[in-house]
Structure 1
Amino acid sequence: MKFLFYRYGSICEEDLIETFKEYGYEIVEYTKEIYNKNYSLKLAVKEVGNVMMKEQFDFVFSINFYPFLSELCKVFKIRYISWIVDSPVMELYSSSITNSWNRTFIFDRALYNEIKPLNPDCVFYLPLGARLKNKDAIIENASREDKDKFTHDISFVGSLYTEKNPYTQKKEMSGFLDGYLEAIIRSQEWVYGYYFVEKLLEEKYVDEIKENIDDFLELPGNNFLTDKRTLSQFYLGSEITARERVDTVEKISNRFSFDIYTGSDTTKLPKVKNHGYAKTLTEMPLIFNNTKINLNMTSKMIRTGLPLRIFDIMSCKGFVLSNYQEEIFEEFENGEEIVTYSSPEEMVYLIEYYLQNDKRRKEIAENGYMKVKNEYTYEKRIEKMLIKSFEK
């Protein structure tokens, strides 16, 4: 079989390509958005449409959902398979989600429960996974120098969200509204496993808040997206995530040696050792494998599901300390395959405990690795996706 892979540069794309190739698939990669983040929709429709006219594909695949790909597949009458690995993906609320040629797989159950009713036969729940083969080889062949370079007590790989927080576009509002939003943000910041922002946000204030945000996000054409949902997920969710991550990093770095790999500005976190970006394919496996405690701070916009970071760490035999998420105990056993915290105080206690208990920490890391290897590989995920996508 032959398919078109529309790429934008997600960290999981390379591993998925390798896995698809092992299944014998012929892949045509379309990569212009990777190198041009201002790539216009009009040009994308024209150029991708031309590729689809010249070559015969069995399906089109992408990480996350692109309405224009859905519409092109509707015209060409071929499956459009998308795997949602981020949240929020506001394009899921476009009218294109209702197309019968879609096969949309969503990793977060809360998001899945919202989107599923829009196209009941074509939207599926599918948690994430990882590829082990390449990582096993990198870890096994690493030099002593490389292992030492990436050996840390505690580390975090990822954005602090401060550089991509759309809430910073908000203007100063009335004292009441600013205080009202601040109260919602503070209420949610340290609550794990339940995202209640949309319930707290009252409809009567939405229009005024919207008017005070420059270039407020709106989808073109017909869609199912409400301004209240956009505010609660895209704007407030980003702000709460940024605050929680900065505050968490500060709490840890004030007590422990803490290394972080990020492009975010950490000048206001002087005790953190920021190494800049980590190379996804060659450095991240060594960081995860050689760090005693790998921290996962799930974006607040991922309301119930597990982010890629958890699976990536486990696939490198790394120990994961994660905030609690509603779905986490459905996939992993707490204290045996992963360790979770439900408050900053519990997080600090667990860091102290596992830094002092090497044997137990390594056992949990090995158990997590075996769970991913046996149940959550990309091979298994792709097989499930394709069976669902083409079953009658």
Structure 2
Amino acid sequence: MNIIFYRYDSICEPDYIDALKAVGLTIIEDKQGLSENTLSVDSKIAHLGNLIADHKPLFVFSINFFPFIAMVCERIKLPYVCVSVDCPVLEIYNNAIKSPYNRVFLFDQKQYESIKDANQNCIFHLPLGAATVRLDATIGDTTGYDYDVSFIGSLYTEKDPYGELSLPSEISASLEEKMQCQLQESIYGLEYIENTITDKEIQCIKDTDPNFYSSALSIRNLDRQIAIDDYIGYHITAMERIKLMNLLADNIQPFNLDLFTGSDTTVLSKHVRKRGLAKSFTDMPVIFKKSKINLNTTMRSIRSGLPQRIWDILGCGGFLLTNYQPELDMFLTPGVHLETYRSHDELIEKANYYLTHDKEREEIALNGYRKVCAEDTVLHRVIVIIKTIMENMENNS
């Protein structure tokens, strides 16, 4: 059976291609999204339509949701299956989400709850997973430790549209105070901001940026959500990651914190060892394996779900210390498969504890690895997707 896989160079595409092949599907790649030239939507629609006519696929698949694919598939009554790996994904609020031929799988339950009523029985909650076969092959027989505590990822300073805004001083001061309160109140999410940000502040953010995302084709006005997630959320994430790197590096001496990032690191403590970028497919799995502690701090716009970094660390057999997320207890057990922190003090306390308790740390890392291999691989997720599609088809026949 054929499926068409729309590609645009998401880092997750190869793992889903491998998993879809493993369940017996033949992959026809639509590489229009990989083109260095900007192609019109009409040309993408025409190309996809021709591929569908030539190969008669069971469904079209993509990482994240593309409205134009949904429109093509609805026109010809063909299922469109997509898996979110990012949050927020504003495209899921496009009117095309209403197509009865969509099968949309979202990893963040809060995001799922925000959109499920727009297309009941066609939108699902599904966590991410680890490509353990690929990770095992990359790690090989790697043993021992090169790093005490490590973090691989962006500081988000270069991805922070809020930092580029020229807001009035009184608005800027008010939002800064609210963001500081959010950081003090909880280790995840944006609930304090949601409850305190004003319509005036949202409108000011919108008016200040000419590239503010338009709600014209969306199922509802998204101004509030965009201001909070895409501006405030990114800025708080940058503030938090800088603070945590400095705090942890200064309080685990004589142990070291190694940061692998392409972000500007001039604002970081001298105790943070700046390592530059780590290549995702070659360097990252080995670093996860050879770190005594791998740190995760989830970007704030991921309200409840577990980001890919969590699954990748566990899938490499690495020990994970992560901020608590509301969905964590649905899939993993703190103290058994990984460790969590709910405050900055707890982060420092647990980092120091596990740096000096090797046996406990290594047992937890092994438990996490075994759990992911047994229940939480990308292949497990693809099997759930295929079963859901088939059950959906039977119920609608």
**Which band: TM-score by shorter chain?**
over 0.9
**Partner Cα distance (2:41, 2:276) in 1:** 32
The one of 214, 220, 225 equivalent to 1:224 is 220
- Give runs of aligned pairs for residues 47-126 of structure 1, distance below 5 A: 47-126=47-126
- Give runs of aligned pairs for residues 228-247 of structure 1, distance below 5 A: 228-247=224-243
| Residues 35, 260 of structure 1: alpha-carbon distance in 2 compared, 3 angstrom cutoff | farther
**Partner Cα distance (1:152, 1:213) in 2:** 41
Name the counterpart of 1:200: 196
1:165-194 per-position Cα deviation (integer Å, ceiling 9, x unaligned): 121231131x32112211221122241244
| Residues 304, 268 of structure 1: alpha-carbon distance in 2 compared, 3 angstrom cutoff | same
Unaligned runs of 5+ in 2: none
Name the counterpart of 1:320: 320
- Give runs of aligned pairs for residues 363-378 of structure 1, distance below 5 A: 363-378=363-378
Task: Give the residue type in structure 1 aligned to 2:313.
Answer: I
Name the counterpart of 1:187: 181
How many residues of Structure 1 are paired with residues of Structure 2 in the alignment?
386
Task: State the shift of 1:324 in Å.
Answer: 0.9
Query: Structure 1 residue 267 and structure 2 residue 266: aligned?
Result: yes
**Partner Cα distance (1:239, 1:229) in 2:** 14
Task: State the shift of 1:141 in Å.
Answer: 4.1
Task: Give the residue type in structure 2 aligned to 1:172.
Answer: L
Task: State the shift of 1:38 in Å.
Answer: 5.0
Task: State the shift of 1:331 in Å.
Answer: 1.3
**Partner Cα distance (1:199, 1:35) in 2:** 42
Q: Secondary structure at the match of 2:140?
A: helix
Q: What's the C-alpha RMSD, in Å, of the aligned pairs?
A: 1.9
**Partner Cα distance (1:162, 1:252) in 2:** 19
**Partner Cα distance (2:285, 2:305) in 1:** 22
Most deviating of 369-378 and 150-159:
150-159
1:17-50 per-position Cα deviation (integer Å, ceiling 9, x unaligned): 1111122211122234345385554443333333
**Partner Cα distance (1:132, 1:111) in 2:** 26
Task: State the shift of 1:204 in Å.
Answer: 4.1
**Partner Cα distance (1:44, 1:78) in 2:** 17
**Partner Cα distance (1:390, 1:26) in 2:** 17
The one of 166, 173, 176 equivalent to 2:170 is 176
Calculate the TM-score normalised by the size of structure 1: 0.93
Task: Give the residue type in structure 2 aligned to 1:163.
Answer: E
Task: State the shift of 1:75 in Å.
Answer: 1.5
Task: State the shift of 1:124 in Å.
Answer: 0.6
Name the counterpart of 1:157: 152
**Partner Cα distance (1:171, 1:325) in 2:** 33
The one of 179, 199, 206 equivalent to 1:210 is 206
Q: Secondary structure at the match of 1:214?
A: coil
Unaligned runs of 5+ in 1: none
- Give runs of aligned pairs for residues 344-359 of structure 1, distance below 5 A: 344-359=344-359
Name the counterpart of 1:254: 250
Q: Which 4+ stretches in 1 moved above 4 angstroms?
A: 37-40
Q: Secondary structure at the match of 1:87?
A: coil
1:169–1:214: 8 Å Cα contact kept in structure 2? no
1:266–1:272: 8 Å Cα contact kept in structure 2? no
2:215–2:222: 8 Å Cα contact kept in structure 1? no
Q: Secondary structure at the match of 1:68?
A: helix
1:285-312 per-position Cα deviation (integer Å, ceiling 9, x unaligned): 1111111000001010000111011010
| Residues 162, 355 of structure 1: alpha-carbon distance in 2 compared, 3 angstrom cutoff | same
How much identity, in percent, do the aligned residues show? 38
Name the counterpart of 1:285: 285
